[in-house]
A = this chain, B = another copy of it.
Amino acid sequence: MYQSTLFSRVQREFPEGEESLNARLLIRGGFVHKLAAGVYAYLPLGLRVLQKINSIVRREMNALGAEEMLMSALIKKEYWQKSGRWDVPIMYTLKHGVGDEEVGLGWTHEEVISAIAENFIFSYRDLPRAVYQIQTKFRKEARAKSGLLRNREFLMKDLYSFHRDSEDLNAFYEKTIEAYKKVFKAVGLEARLVEASGSEFTKEYTHEFQVFSPAGEDIVFYCNSCDFAQNKEIFDEKIKNCIKCKKGAILSASAIEVGNVFKLGTRYSDKFNLQYTDEKGARHSVVMGSYGIGQSRLMGTIAEMYNDTHGLMWPLSVAPFVAHIVGVGNDANVRNVAEALHGALEKKGIEILYDDRDLSPGEKFQDADFMGIPTRIVVSQKTCALGKVEVKKRGENEIRFVTPQEAEGML
């Protein structure tokens, strides 16, 4: 793709008054545009990152055997009333039609999926089932100052599972935890599994995936020797030595919650009359689980973790492009070599950005660094004279002179 035709561009300055690091980087880099506190537009470059994250999430959800579906944002008051969540302060409410009927904007979908599942789950033969959606969620956040980490409108994947008993739920829950680990690893994040309270959802302990970062709004207490970790909200701060391994010391860290898994049990199925008949004809409530990942928050977290003083440094798996060709100077030879390499890579299906703009090399390099595409390939009069191009990885200093063909092979 020609950079001269891109809708967005790197801004010369950081956005005024913006304190969040991820917002500063993503706005200046031309990835997102802030429309209001907690409300962002994903510019074409940013949507590319978000779609890569979506693809990774989809791959792991499908591998779990879950089917993708899509629920609504407008959710009837009676559903929320059934579960006792109509008065949750973070829910946006509005009049639905011309009359007085009210709806809440979905911030989670336990109610809706329970109401839907009632039409399709009747017998033990219909279990287990798992469905997920990738959908825009809404939360009336009082403070929305952390860039993509806490938004009023955000993109989320929510997965719901249905089981005949706790044993089956537990097995799926463990499988989902493994799938989540794969997702976070694939997008370049080290996420720690942390015990937490169930808040609105359940009275049991639940699990969160937390990425340690000063930008995080959560506090995690964890053992420096084993995998014990608890969210501050449930941790007994008098404890100084690990109660699990009896060896390690307890440390604490700020962390960003990037995912969570809940055993709902029969909390929602009881309220929505979601039951199945077993082999002997007896009726039981369906046992449910609920599992979330926030993709827009993941994007913000990756930006928080992958940057330096020159700008962003995307992991390859979520980078908007695989490589960035930078043409230096307006020499016909430079243009020809750069064009040929661009064309060859696009033909191979490699996502490639070609900076064909009429700007100084300094400006181009600065923009390239800021955008953070993993590999930069410079074509200049100097490299052309040698029949070579310059290949440099973002974040590394080493520059390699290789032929355009060799450069192709390195991607």
| CB-contacts of A290-341 with B (<8 A) | none
- Judge whether A88 is part of the interface by a CB distance below 8 angstroms: no
Q: Are A67 and B35 in contact (CB under 8 A)?
A: no
Q: Are B97 and A37 in contact (CB under 8 A)?
A: yes
How would you classify the secondary structure of chain A's contact residues: helix, strand, loop or mixed? mixed
| CB-contacts of A261-285 with B (<8 A) | none
Cβ 8 A contact of A7, one of B11, B43, B44, B120: B120
A96 to B151, CA, bound (A): 12
Closest Cβ of chain B to A142, distance in Å, is 5
Closest Cβ of chain B to A35, distance in Å, is 5
Q: Are B74 and A39 in contact (CB under 8 A)?
A: yes
Which residues of the partner chain B approach A35 to less than 8 Å between Cβ atoms?
71-72, 74-76, 112, 115-116
- Judge whether A65 is part of the interface by a CB distance below 8 angstroms: yes
Closest Cβ of chain B to A320, distance in Å, is 11
Which residues of the partner chain B approach A68 to less than 8 Å between Cβ atoms?
44, 47
Total copies of the chain: 2
Which residues of the partner chain B approach A97 to less than 8 Å between Cβ atoms?
37-38, 140-142, 144, 152
Q: Are B116 and A33 in contact (CB under 8 A)?
A: yes
- Judge whether A138 is part of the interface by a CB distance below 8 angstroms: yes
- Judge whether A25 is part of the interface by a CB distance below 8 angstroms: no
- Judge whether A103 is part of the interface by a CB distance below 8 angstroms: yes
Q: Are A74 and B36 in contact (CB under 8 A)?
A: yes
Which residues of the partner chain B approach A120 to less than 8 Å between Cβ atoms?
7-9, 30
- Judge whether A209 is part of the interface by a CB distance below 8 angstroms: no
- Judge whether A360 is part of the interface by a CB distance below 8 angstroms: no
- Judge whether A239 is part of the interface by a CB distance below 8 angstroms: no
Which residues of the partner chain B approach A94 to less than 8 Å between Cβ atoms?
92-94, 105
A267 to B30, CA, bound (A): 26
Q: Are A72 and B153 in contact (CB under 8 A)?
A: yes
Closest Cβ of chain B to A245, distance in Å, is 40
Q: Are B44 and A69 in contact (CB under 8 A)?
A: yes
Interface centre among A8, A95, A115 (most CB of B within 10 A): A8
Which residues of the partner chain B approach A140 to less than 8 Å between Cβ atoms?
95-98
Q: Are A69 and B42 in contact (CB under 8 A)?
A: yes
Closest Cβ of chain B to A76, distance in Å, is 5
Cβ 8 A contact of A36, one of B5, B42, B103: B103
A112 to B36, CA, bound (A): 11
- Judge whether A80 is part of the interface by a CB distance below 8 angstroms: no
Which residues of the partner chain B approach A9 to less than 8 Å between Cβ atoms?
120
- Judge whether A6 is part of the interface by a CB distance below 8 angstroms: yes
Which residues of the partner chain B approach A6 to less than 8 Å between Cβ atoms?
67
A33 to B39, CA, bound (A): 29
| CB-contacts of A23-80 with B (<8 A) | 30, 33, 35-44, 46-47, 50, 65, 67-76
Which residues of the partner chain B approach A37 to less than 8 Å between Cβ atoms?
97
Closest Cβ of chain B to A251, distance in Å, is 35
Complex interface bits, A92-112 against B, C-beta within 8 A gives 1, otherwise 0: 111111100001010000001
Instruction: Tell whether A70 pairs with B41 under 8 Å between CB atoms, given A129-B7, A136-B136.
Output: yes
A239 to B9, CA, bound (A): 52
- Judge whether A199 is part of the interface by a CB distance below 8 angstroms: no
Q: Are A131 and B39 in contact (CB under 8 A)?
A: no
Nearest neighbor of A115 in chain B, beta-carbon distance: B35
Closest Cβ of chain B to A374, distance in Å, is 21
Instruction: Tell whether A74 pairs with B44 under 8 Å between CB atoms, given A69-B7, A92-B94.
Output: no
19 A-B pairs within 8 Å (CB atoms) are namely: A5-B65, A35-B71, A36-B72, A36-B74, A36-B76, A36-B96, A39-B72, A41-B69, A41-B72, A42-B69, A44-B69, A47-B69, A72-B153, A73-B136, A74-B152, A95-B140, A96-B140, A96-B152, A97-B140
